[in-house]
Structure 1
């Protein structure tokens, strides 16, 4: 066949990387969130503060951002030891609920807000009622 060129193309896929990526994604999706009671309580307090900030007119991005544990203790986590706050933040970060920064400031992830919205359908009032059970 005059004027025709035959081209042979070889495609080599790295299937092991693709398989590993899929397995990692499945592990992440199937792994249930596990929080200690102390960390769960602190997440509720953080979520309550987030809702208060939104109620007071802060933007969502501003309301999701939190400072260093010392500032948190002064603002709304009175009575919780700074080391316990630090440990809970690491646990929340490990579970993908917050983005923890080097200075231990953090930002709530959308996944934590979704989790809490599904948990407390009636918003701030329900969260406040739940938290009041912890306060002596």
Structure 2
């Protein structure tokens, strides 16, 4: 009996490293968005947005936050577009950077109302660690 043609198995194919990285960056970006959205349900959060008593209380801080969070979104595109050497470098660099930021946020958000934020920050850390590992093990050319 030929075991190569097992009718019970599903065909799989190898996913290109660039596609894996792009989808990982997509996943982490969505987690960032969900975290910021769910934070609006924390008591007094929206009041702080209205009266200006919040972390992003001036144009420079707001721009810096926008710039920082644009990086993962742009990495979705860059992971597909860029040539392997620079692509690998940027994925490792930003993967490590965002992993460290999210671990810091997780440990500084340990309150009952922010437990969702801790969960997402740890999940985001796992995803960005996977980005680093995949980029680090980028397949070599022939």
**TM over 0.5: same fold?**
no
Question: Which has more strand, going by share of residues?
Answer: 1
Question: Which has more helix, going by share of residues?
Answer: 2
Q: TM-score, normalised by structure 1?
A: 0.28
Ranked by relative contact order (alpha carbons within 8 Å, sequence separation 6 or more), the top structure is: 2
